[in-house]
Structure 1
Amino acid sequence: GTSISAAVAFAKARDLKKEDHSVVAIIGDGSMTAGMAFEGLNHSGHLKSDMIVVLNDNEMSISANVGGMSAHLSNIMTGQVMTKIKQEIDQFLLAIPGIGKEISRYAHRIDEAVKGVFIPGRLFEDLGFRYIGPIDGHDTEVLIDTFETIKVLKGPTLVHVITRKGKGYKVAEEKADLWHGASPFDIETGEFHKNKSSPSYTAIFADALIELAKTNDNIIGITAAMPDGTGISKFGKVFPGRTFDVGMAEQHAIAFAGAMAAEGLRPVVAIYSTFMQRGYDQVAHDVCLMNLPVVFAMDRAGIVGEDGSTHQGLYDIAFLRTLPNIIVMAPKDENEMRSMLKTALDCPGPAAIRYPRGSGLGVLLDPEIKSLEIGKGEVIKNGTDLAIFAYGHMVNPSLEAALLLEQEGIHTAVINARFVKPIDAELVLKYARSTRHLVTVEEHSLKGGFGSAILEVLQENDALANLHMKRIGIGDIVVEHGASALIRKELELDAESLFKNIFAFYREEEKSKKNADEKNNDNAAKTYQANGKKSRLKDKDKQTVNG
């Protein structure tokens, strides 16, 4: 929903710089449910700058209104001839002495009333826009004629274009929601390529939420226009009266959840990690500050691959762990995902669970969903030379790397942190003091992330002296579109890369330590020799005096 606001600024900047070019914003009907879109429309109508907003309505959110009369009126009003005639009539009426202005105003009222009945654009016109449409978004000739006509019009204009999502590919047309962000697929059948042996984290979440809701009538599911992507649609089929899709309005979704929690309900907001950013103010003010028991199920946390750079979930740890009262956790596998959902629902305050896009590890699920002890990590593998603290789904590749390190004679511990807030400080300090080599691994920005949280614990407990530490994660970069596995390899977050980097880190630190020890030994030897020489000189001086 940001395109209109940006276009308003581009248009005003153009006018201030006395330039001459068109400004066009393209926005989908789903995005038009976002509050920011209407903020942009409202401001544009006030400024009255020349700009065009193309509303791409693919019948996913806005009901189509493409009746014969509407199309006829649209064609008349977009025609160059009709535009000129209307302007000339208006000028003629205004020229009539005494009553011309009143007649012109009355004519405009009739025009507005007719359009309000037949055209679904009255709202936009009330906001100061000239409304054109609806028109067929798949008719190239009509589109060209329309844009050629309206590009010379003054003031803001909205063009309502009707399209079909997935047009030209029958499978995509029939299951438009599933094709919002397409993964590799079989073109003949339309089936997505995936590991059928392991369910997705999204499916695990949905099933666990349904299971827990069967014994707790206060649990409700909330989503912001992503019921299928988050799994809430599955929950909604079982509990339709306890499921709320608020549209593409994350701020409203979170404030809505906070108020529900204040009334004693247990809302679960299923949301993509990247979209949590849109509702951050509400997370802070309407949930955390009042310590309300809202659960944030943050899907697509970490690298999202084909969803692209705008959807990478790489910042949630940093912006959530700064807030008071909230608990932040991440599962290593499907079983832990289920346990963390129950843990979050048992919390007296807000809790967030981050989990990745895609399939789990295929572990067997426990028959009963059990809660975890809040703030306690899990030792997956013990070791005396080096300790890897991993967060979320990076635990498994870290374990693979540790087994490779063992083959090189480096006894490596692997700790599943589970919680980043509160973090298991006792476990961190134990391995920091016993191994003297600490590595953190996360699929998140290094700035403010899991590794930073570990560093804070070490600094606050004066445990950094003589400790060798390395943080592995994502640097200060934009992660682009691509297959998740390829991106992880490029960012050196796969098991093989982890092994190579940690091995190099350990050997370098051991080499530095050896060099330092040798230097200390040399210095000690030189000191010893110097002291011995001084002692012999003193003895010689004594002999000379005595002689």
Structure 2
Amino acid sequence: MGALLLDSINQPKDLKQLNEQQVKQLCAEIRQFLLENISKTGGHLASNLGVVELTVALHRVLDTPQDKIVFDVGHQCYTHKILTGRRGQFDKLRQLDGISGFPNPNESEHDAFIAGHGNTALSLAIGMAWAKKLHHEAGLVVAVIGDGAFTGGMVYEGMNNIEQLDNLLVILNDNKMSISKNVGALARYLTHLRTTTAYFDAKDNVRSFLDRVPLVGAPLKKNITECKTLLRRAMYHSTMFEDMGFQYIGPVDGHNVEELERTLRTIRNRQGPHFLHVITKKGKGYQPAEVNPGNYHGVSAFDLDGMPDPEVAPKESFSTVFGNALVTEGDRNPNICAITAAMKYGTGLQFFAHSHPERFFDVGMAEQHAVTFAAGLASQGMLPVVCIYSTFLQRSYDQIIHDVNLLRENVVFAIDRAGFVPADGETHQGIYDPAFLSQLGMPLYAPSNYQELNYWLQQLLSDRFHGPRAIRYPRGGQDAALAEFGCTGEDYDFLRKADDATIVLVSYADELADLLQAERELQQKSIACDVIKAVKLYPFTDKMIVDMSKYKIILFAEECIANGSIGEHLEYALQQNGWNGRFIHCAVRNACLPHASVAQIKQATGLDAAHLVQAVQMAVTKGENLL
């Protein structure tokens, strides 16, 4: 096999020397590189396969880092990383000490900003574009925004504030819209005309001429503009963007590098702001991903020969157990509704969508709307279940406070991916929800196995509860050891109890597995410890506070940010009850967590068994426990 053209591309400047045929070859090689590497490491596949040509064209026309490219969402940045000197690091993509799956300025000067959540690129780009103008700096700022991000409101908030920025380009990467052949052909022809210098020169000359014609000049110019607007609206609904101040161009074939380059060069030589509408195919070049891009959006390591249909129940996990349990409850109670924010499969709600489609709502990438929408449903007697990843629930905190909690609306929050999440790094960790929900006094439950998830979901959906409440559970499947404890239906349980123990280890969810391992190791060192599993995290029951007040040393471990966490609430409650023992709080002290396995993250944060053992031993050595 001969040398690959890709091997000669180490920086964006290397792209500029290629001819048209070489560019096509390079795009094919990038696709093959992505397939081979992501199939080994996992990562975001379909979205990256869809933007190969667009990314190549951007780097052939622009000069980063002087020009800025802001990706929304950042998981479509793999080709960008390949072209900016990181091709050799893809064997450790999203692994400890490897490259991130998202843009990160700490990793490369070519990455304009970190981008793990959606809807942010336009606001960021507007800020960068204004900073360039204020500093009198040259360069274009480009926001590459997927059509999914346009389901979130922050994009439109940004559009309302472009202020005639002449150094701003917004690219809509549209991989959903389908254009019929006739309309598409006409649109492509007009786009070709609109992206030539001759077109803009003629347009300016006509405007200038009409401005000088007395009486009829101004009305005629207005009529011509209105006719063009009506034609574009009939073809591809572009006027919304032009009404907001953009010069709209498109749709453009997102897999035709030559057309993309010509369009981008024309835009760069014209004052903006511009809005470029690009049509791409998600999963381009890999047939299984083209047919079912949702299943290949984010993948673990996989066999290139194919993956299962997402409509078929995937491997059992907390998400699928939740999804099936919600279907059962939905069968019993016609008031139950399920709401997700563009994560139907990720949250296991595809089962509810199939069984109760009229009560299933995917609101798109709009977590704020999801929560207030749920409040509206609840105010009229429905029982909405809002299922959102922990990291994305952060975006709706004001709505939880103002629209749900103030009137105590009957809304259930199902918080997926709670706790540590592997590979995606600091932007996707579920380490804040116990802290921010406990500030509201909201009942919060954390099952450690499937039986507890089934039981407590049923309870939270029953008449036993009213008002906002939440249940949180980790990514992936249950721990085998924790599954053996089953479900007692109690708010907390003793998993280990010794007659002479003056130390208790306390935690919740899958951190309990590390706690049990720590207890075994301490027992081997002749240090007896009890172990308590908390299921109801907040508010605390009086009985639990009384039970825990009997110990001289309490270690509380949690996959949560330390400030404002359950551990801090617990220590205060114990002190208010008159307890004056030694409280060891093991939690997340640095929110910038590595993209790594969960075990590696626990080790880095001191939440693995070895660190827990060490913390207890230090307390004992200091003589703060009378054994």
Shared topology, TM-score over 0.5?
yes
Task: Name the structure 2 match of 1:265.
Answer: 382
Is residue 292 from structure 1 mapped to residue 409 from structure 2 by the alignment? yes
Map 1:387-466 → 2, pairs under 5 A: 387-433=504-550, 435-463=551-579, 465=580
Is residue 379 from structure 1 mapped to residue 473 from structure 2 by the alignment? no
Task: Name the structure 1 match of 2:244.
Answer: 127
Structure 1 217/430 Cα, relative in aligned 2: closer, same or farther at 3 Å? same
Q: Is the 8 A contact 2:445 2:535 kept in 1?
A: yes
Task: Name the structure 1 match of 2:613.
Answer: 503
Q: Deviations over 1:225-265 (max 9, x none)?
A: 11111111111101111111112111111111111111111
Q: Secondary structure at the residue paired with 1:352? A: strand
Task: Name the structure 2 match of 1:212.
Answer: 329
Q: Is the 8 A contact 1:197 1:362 kept in 2?
A: no
Map 1:114-513 → 2, pairs under 5 A: 114-190=231-307, 199-324=316-441, 326-346=442-462, 347-361=465-479, 372=489, 376-383=491-498, 384-433=501-550, 435-463=551-579, 465=580, 467-494=581-608, 498=609, 500-513=610-623
Task: Name the structure 2 match of 1:539.
Answer: none
Question: Runs of 5+ in structure 1 lacking a partner?
Answer: 518-547
Q: Distance in 1 between matches of 2:447 and 2:518?
A: 19
Q: Secondary structure at the residue paired with 2:332? A: coil
Q: Is the 8 A contact 1:328 1:352 kept in 2?
A: yes
Structure with bigger gyration radius: 1
Task: Name the structure 1 match of 2:148.
Answer: 30
- The one-letter amino acid paired with 1:436 is K
- The one-letter amino acid paired with 1:342 is Q
Q: Distance in 2 between matches of 1:393 and 1:296?
A: 19
Q: Distance in 2 between matches of 1:263 and 1:393?
A: 37
- The one-letter amino acid paired with 1:444 is C
Percentage of pairs with the same residue: 36
Q: Is the 8 A contact 1:254 1:282 kept in 2?
A: yes
Q: Distance in 1 between matches of 2:438 and 2:482?
A: 31
Q: Distance in 1 between matches of 2:483 and 2:423?
A: 28
Structure 1 380/365 Cα, relative in aligned 2: closer, same or farther at 3 Å? closer
Structure 1 485/182 Cα, relative in aligned 2: closer, same or farther at 3 Å? farther
- The one-letter amino acid paired with 1:74 is T
Q: Is the 8 A contact 1:272 1:301 kept in 2?
A: yes
- The one-letter amino acid paired with 1:179 is Y
Q: Deviations over 1:393-435 (max 9, x none)?
A: 21222112212221221111111111221123432443343x3
Q: Secondary structure at the residue paired with 2:596? A: coil
Q: Is the 8 A contact 2:169 2:276 kept in 1?
A: yes
Q: Secondary structure at the residue paired with 2:251? A: strand
Which TM-score applies when normalising by structure 2? 0.75
Task: Name the structure 2 match of 1:531.
Answer: none
Q: Is the 8 A contact 2:482 2:513 kept in 1?
A: no
Q: Distance in 2 between matches of 1:448 and 1:405?
A: 29
Q: Is the 8 A contact 1:440 1:450 kept in 2?
A: no
Structure 1 480/54 Cα, relative in aligned 2: closer, same or farther at 3 Å? farther
**TM superposition shift of 1:147:** 0.7
Higher helix share: 1
**TM superposition shift of 1:321:** 0.7
* Bigger relative contact order (CA 8 A; separation at least 6): 2
**TM superposition shift of 1:71:** 1.1
Structure 1 385/155 Cα, relative in aligned 2: closer, same or farther at 3 Å? same
Task: Name the structure 2 match of 1:15.
Answer: 133
Task: Name the structure 2 match of 1:543.
Answer: none
Q: Distance in 1 between matches of 2:262 and 2:288?
A: 31
Is residue 3 from structure 1 mapped to residue 131 from structure 2 by the alignment? no
Q: Secondary structure at the residue paired with 1:440? A: strand
**TM superposition shift of 1:186:** 2.2
Q: Secondary structure at the residue paired with 1:305? A: coil
- The one-letter amino acid paired with 1:469 is F
Structure 1 236/250 Cα, relative in aligned 2: closer, same or farther at 3 Å? same
Structure 1 185/424 Cα, relative in aligned 2: closer, same or farther at 3 Å? farther
Q: Distance in 1 between matches of 2:308 and 2:542?
A: 46
Structure 1 413/275 Cα, relative in aligned 2: closer, same or farther at 3 Å? same
**TM superposition shift of 1:145:** 1.2
Q: Is the 8 A contact 2:451 2:487 kept in 1?
A: no
- The one-letter amino acid paired with 2:150 is M
Which TM-score applies when normalising by structure 1? 0.86
Q: Distance in 1 between matches of 2:561 and 2:299?
A: 25
Count of residues in correspondence between the two structures: 498
**TM superposition shift of 1:365:** 8.9
Q: Distance in 1 between matches of 2:196 and 2:367?
A: 40
- The one-letter amino acid paired with 2:235 is F
